[in-house]
Amino acid sequence: MDSEPKKEYRKIIHVDMDAFYASIEQRDNPLYRGKPIVVGGSPEGRGVVATASYEARKFGLHSAMSSKRALQLCPEVIFIRPRFNVYKEVSVKLREIFSRYTDLIEPLSLDEAYLDVTHDKQNIGSAIEIAKQIRQTIKDELNLTASAGVSVNKFVAKIASDMQKPDGLTFIAPSKVESFIENLPVEKFFGVGKVTAEKMKKMNLFTGADLKKLTEHEMVQRFGKVGRFYYNIVRGIDERSVQPERETKSIGAEDTFLHDLSDIEELNAELDRIAQTTYNRLQKYNLKGRTLTLKIKFSDFKQITRSQSFSNPIWELEKIQEISRTLLISAGLEGKKVRLLGVTLSNFKERVIEIKKHDKTGQLRLFDD
Ligand code: DCP
Ligand code: MG
């Protein structure tokens, strides 16, 4: 007799370092160990703190709290100036540890990532075992602790990783996912901010189970488009894939003109402007490319590119403009009308990983190593 085909579940791990900046400071300076410390802010009471050690959290200190408030709650707290370079270095090493198990790594910030280990590189097979090994390796090689959540989708894995912090591992088995979500308070749901949570509570919706009573139509009516996402999530359905980081191979700018241009003076002026935008973008990401590519689209929509490579990186604005102009002239326009020009730099010395996510401060983060 045929048995029911077994449902194939994904194996998702969410790893999040414990009190990341603060733990690194305690690791590197024995005087800070076991003490309430915060990274960022100032003992004079200016600014906000980036994070608090678990010792400081006992006093109620937390990320984004004002230094003033932190001092009120814990007068003996030690303020530490952040060392972002060190945090970034640790982050790169973390990535390297993850990559021993899978290439499907989606970093969310310096200290946090999703891993899809459905088919792991070492054929370990068990996501729990992989999470254990990752946590142990982080201890052995980085002298830091991480918490991990293991489950069948991103949503549950992320909530799970937070459940036994610090230094915890939480597994939510496929058969437990539904009851797990039913018991979750509404504010734990992804994307439910304080305002929506209040709104839900006014509607007598306190837990996942309450949300589950509503039809898809009712969810959308009450919460807009995101209502459909919640509708699926409370049923354990979260098909979002783990999106690996993508390497940035080029940076550039292009523009289509209002009217097609043939006058070389006008074209040069436009080209200088586009090169300036490219230059600004390179500056933003602190990149220097060795290949410059000019793209030209003609009025008949035919497109050509002309590239030039150099042994030394090009990064000065004047240089980018000069090379672009030379490439434009050598393209032999011969009275043709141009509708678009583009200037791109590639062939970077640094390996640049662009993280498509926005970090907690809303900035697009770039990593290079
Ligand atoms: N961070 C920040 N500003 C915030 C939140 C965080 O600068 N508002 C920084 C400092 C943290 C790091 O990002 O150390 C990671 O953020 P987490 O939210 O993961 O917090 P922690 O790792 O510090 O603590 P936890 O153990 O709760 O994960
Ligand atoms: Mg963390």
Average pLDDT over residues 169-186: 96
Residues 275 and 345 in one domain: yes
Residues 106 and 168 in one domain: yes
Catalytic: which of 4, 112, 265, 354? Answer: 112
39-49 pLDDT, tens per residue? 999 999 999 99
Residues 256 and 347 in one domain: yes
Give the residue, 292 or 365, on which the prediction is more confident: 292
The structural domain count of the chain equals: 4
Is residue 365 assigned to a domain? no
* Cα–Cα nearest to 271, from 331, 347, 348: 331
> How far is 166 from 56, CA to CA, in rounded Å?
13
Domain that holds residue 107: 12-18+85-173
* Cα–Cα nearest to 296, from 251, 249, 264, 250: 264
Whether 350 sits among the annotated catalytic residues: the reply is no
Judged against a pLDDT cut of 50, whether residue 368 lies above it is answered with no
> How far is 154 from 357, CA to CA, in rounded Å?
14
- Pick from 52, 83, 114: which residue ends a domain? 83
Residues 52 and 127 in one domain: no
- The confidence band for 355, taking pLDDT boundaries of 50, 70 and 90, is very low
Contact 303, 295 (CB under 8 A): yes
Helix axes 216-223, 226-233, angle to 10 degrees: 140
Residues 152 and 181 in one domain: no
- Ligand 2 centre to CA of 19 (Å) is 5
Report phi then psi at 116, rounded to 5: -100, 110
Is residue 167 assigned to a domain? yes
Phi-psi map region of 362: left, alpha, beta (phi>0 left; psi -120 to 50 alpha): left
Q: At 134, which helix (H) or strand (E)?
A: helix 127-137
For 205, 207, 222, 308, the CA distances from 231, given in Å and listed in that order, are: 13, 13, 11, 53
53-78 pLDDT, tens per residue? 999 999 999 999 999 999 999 999 99
What DSSP assignment string belongs to 20-58?
Answer: HHHHHHHHH-GGGTTS-EEEES-TTS-SBEEEE-HHHHT
Residues 163 and 138 in one domain: yes
Residues 346 and 254 in one domain: yes
Is residue 190 assigned to a domain? yes
Q: Mean pLDDT score of the chain, rounded to an integer?
A: 90
Pocket of ligand 1 (CB under 6 A): 16-21, 50-51, 63-64, 109, 111-112, 165-166, 360
Is residue 243 assigned to a domain? no
Give the residue, 71 or 191, on which the prediction is more confident: 71
pLDDT on residue 245: 72
Q: Please give the model's pTM, rounded to 2 decimal places.
A: 0.73
- Ligand 1 centre to CA of 19 (Å) is 6
Is residue 7 assigned to a domain? no
Judged against a pLDDT cut of 60, whether residue 241 lies above it is answered with yes
Judged against a pLDDT cut of 90, whether residue 357 lies above it is answered with no
Is residue 125 assigned to a domain? yes
Judged against a pLDDT cut of 80, whether residue 191 lies above it is answered with no
Task: Assign residue 319 the CATH number of its domain.
Answer: 3.30.1490.100
For 108, 173, 238, 244, 364, the CA distances from 114, given in Å and listed in that order, are: 8, 17, 14, 9, 18
Judged against a pLDDT cut of 80, whether residue 224 lies above it is answered with yes
Two structure tokens written together for 186: 């509404």
